[in-house]
Structure 1
Amino acid sequence: MEKLKQTKPARIGIYTMGLKPYWDQFPGLRERVIEYAEFIAGKIRQIGGAQVFLYGLVDCPERGEEAGEYFNAHNVDLIFAHAGTYVNSASILPVHQVCKAPVVILNLQPTAKINYARTTTGEWLAHCGACPVPEMTNAFNRSGIDCHIINGLLGLDYTPEISMTDENTASRPEAVRAWKQIEEWVLAASVKSGLSNARFGFLGNTFNGMLDMYSDFTMFQGQTGAHLEVLEMCDLNRMLETVTEEEVEAKKEEITEFFIISEDSPSDPLAKKPTPEQLEWSAKVAVAQEKLVKEYDLDALTYYYHGAPGGYYEKIQGGFIVGHSLLTAKGIPCAGEGDLKTCLAMKICDIVNKGGSYCEIVVTDYEDGTILLGHDGPFHLAIANGKPILRGMGLYHGKQGTGVSVEAKVKAGDITNLGCTQNIDGKLKFIITEAEATNGTIMTIGNTQTPVKFRKDPNAYMDEWFAQAPTHHFAMSVGHNASLFEKIAVMLQIPSVVLDR
Structure 2
Amino acid sequence: MTDDAAPRPRIGTMAVGLGSYWSQFAGMKDAVLDAHRRLCALVSPHGQLVEAGLVDKAASARIAGDTFQREDVDLVFVQLATYANSETLLPAIRALDVPVVLLNVQPQRKLDMARVTGIGDWLASGVTPSSLPEMTNVLIRLGKRFDVLTGHLDNDLELADSLATWCRLATLCRRLRTQSIGLLGRPFAGMMDLNIDETHLFKQLGSFVDHRHWDELVAEMDAVTPAEQAAGVAELRRIFPASGSLTEAEFAAAGTVTAAVQRFVARHNLCAISSHYDGPVQGRHAELLAALNPALSVLNAAGIACPVEADIKVAVAMLLLKTLGGSATLAELYSMDFDDDVVIIGHSGAGDPAISREPARLAMSEVFHGKSGKGYLTQFFPGPGPVTLLSMTQGADGDFQLVAAEGEIVPGPTLQLGDTNARVRFPQGLRRFVNEWSRPGPTHHGVLGYGHHAEGLRAASIALNLPLQMVTP
Q: What is the TM-score with the length of structure 2 in the denominator?
A: 0.92
Answer yes or no: is 1:406 the counterpart of 2:387.
Answer: no
Distance verdict in 2 for CA 1:41–1:428, change over 3 Å = same
The structure 1 residue matched to 2:291, chosen from 319, 325, 328, is 319
- Measured against aligned partners, the alpha-carbon deviations of 1:207-235 in whole angstroms (never above 9, x if no partner) come to 11111111222222222222222111211
Alpha-carbon separation, structure 2, partners of 1:316 and 1:378: 14
The structure 1 residue matched to 2:221, chosen from 234, 237, 240, is 240
The structure 2 residue matched to 1:79, chosen from 76, 81, 101, is 76
2:121 counterpart residue number: 123
Which is further off, 59-68 or 276-285? 276-285
2:42 counterpart residue number: 43
1:179 counterpart residue number: 160
1:21 counterpart residue number: 20
Alpha-carbon separation, structure 1, partners of 2:164 and 2:224: 43
Q: Secondary structure at the match of 1:494?
A: coil
Which is further off, 91-100 or 401-410? 91-100
Alpha-carbon separation, structure 2, partners of 1:291 and 1:98: 38
Alpha-carbon separation, structure 2, partners of 1:244 and 1:35: 53
Q: Letter of the aligned partner of 1:443 in structure 2?
A: L
Deviation at residue 496 of structure 1 after TM alignment: 1.5
Deviation at residue 275 of structure 1 after TM alignment: 7.5
The structure 2 residue matched to 1:223, chosen from 200, 204, 209, is 204
Q: Letter of the aligned partner of 2:26 in structure 1?
A: P
Distance verdict in 2 for CA 1:310–1:80, change over 3 Å = closer
Answer yes or no: is 1:334 the counterpart of 2:331.
Answer: no
Q: Secondary structure at the match of 1:459?
A: helix
Alpha-carbon separation, structure 2, partners of 1:426 and 1:351: 25
Distance verdict in 2 for CA 1:32–1:465, change over 3 Å = same
1:34 counterpart residue number: 33
Deviation at residue 468 of structure 1 after TM alignment: 0.8
Q: Letter of the aligned partner of 2:128 in structure 1?
A: G
Distance verdict in 2 for CA 1:73–1:250, change over 3 Å = closer
Deviation at residue 122 of structure 1 after TM alignment: 1.3
Can you give the 5+ residue segments of structure 2 that lack an aligned partner in the other structure? Answer: none
2:106 counterpart residue number: 109
- Measured against aligned partners, the alpha-carbon deviations of 1:354-398 in whole angstroms (never above 9, x if no partner) come to 221111112222233222211112111123112111111122222
1:135 counterpart residue number: 134
Which is further off, 87-96 or 454-463? 87-96
1:97 counterpart residue number: 94
Q: Secondary structure at the match of 1:334?
A: coil
Q: Letter of the aligned partner of 1:204 in structure 2?
A: G
Alpha-carbon separation, structure 2, partners of 1:258 and 1:317: 19
Deviation at residue 202 of structure 1 after TM alignment: 0.7
Contact 1:11 1:77 in 2 (8 A): yes
Within a 5 Å distance, the mapping from 1:52-67 to structure 2 comes to 52-67=49-64
Answer yes or no: is 1:447 the counterpart of 2:446.
Answer: no
Alpha-carbon separation, structure 1, partners of 2:175 and 2:63: 27
Q: Letter of the aligned partner of 2:52 in structure 1?
A: Y
Deviation at residue 321 of structure 1 after TM alignment: 0.8
Deviation at residue 278 of structure 1 after TM alignment: 5.8
Distance verdict in 2 for CA 1:248–1:185, change over 3 Å = closer
Distance verdict in 2 for CA 1:252–1:90, change over 3 Å = closer
Deviation at residue 62 of structure 1 after TM alignment: 1.5
Contact 1:261 1:391 in 2 (8 A): no
Q: Letter of the aligned partner of 2:372 in structure 1?
A: Q
Contact 1:274 1:404 in 2 (8 A): no
Q: Letter of the aligned partner of 2:119 in structure 1?
A: T
Alpha-carbon separation, structure 2, partners of 1:25 and 1:84: 17
The structure 2 residue matched to 1:385, chosen from 357, 364, 376, is 357
Answer yes or no: is 1:422 the counterpart of 2:394.
Answer: yes
Percent identity for Structure 1 against Structure 2: 28
Q: Secondary structure at the match of 2:72?
A: coil
Contact 2:42 2:160 in 1 (8 A): no
Alpha-carbon separation, structure 1, partners of 2:112 and 2:259: 66
CA RMSD of aligned residues (A): 2.4
Deviation at residue 276 of structure 1 after TM alignment: 7.4
| Bigger CA radius of gyration | 1
Alpha-carbon separation, structure 1, partners of 2:236 and 2:309: 23
Distance verdict in 2 for CA 1:371–1:115, change over 3 Å = same
Distance verdict in 2 for CA 1:194–1:112, change over 3 Å = same
Which is further off, 197-206 or 178-187? 178-187
Contact 1:314 1:400 in 2 (8 A): no
Deviation at residue 109 of structure 1 after TM alignment: 2.3
Contact 1:191 1:352 in 2 (8 A): no
Distance verdict in 2 for CA 1:241–1:147, change over 3 Å = closer
Which is further off, 313-322 or 381-390? 313-322
Deviation at residue 4 of structure 1 after TM alignment: 7.9
- Measured against aligned partners, the alpha-carbon deviations of 1:140-163 in whole angstroms (never above 9, x if no partner) come to 3334444322223x223xxxxxxx
Q: Secondary structure at the match of 1:46?
A: helix
Which is further off, 354-363 or 87-96? 87-96
2:274 counterpart residue number: 302
1:469 counterpart residue number: 441
2:472 counterpart residue number: 500
Q: Letter of the aligned partner of 1:293 in structure 2?
A: V
Contact 1:391 1:446 in 2 (8 A): yes
Tell me the matched-pair count: 471
Which is further off, 307-316 or 468-477? 307-316
Alpha-carbon separation, structure 1, partners of 2:217 and 2:352: 22
Alpha-carbon separation, structure 2, partners of 1:246 and 1:69: 47
Distance verdict in 2 for CA 1:145–1:406, change over 3 Å = closer
Distance verdict in 2 for CA 1:15–1:448, change over 3 Å = same
Can you give the 5+ residue segments of structure 1 that lack an aligned partner in the other structure? Answer: 157-169, 264-272
Alpha-carbon separation, structure 2, partners of 1:306 and 1:66: 55
Answer yes or no: is 1:285 the counterpart of 2:257.
Answer: yes
Contact 2:169 2:463 in 1 (8 A): yes
Answer yes or no: is 1:205 the counterpart of 2:177.
Answer: no
Q: Letter of the aligned partner of 1:217 in structure 2?
A: E
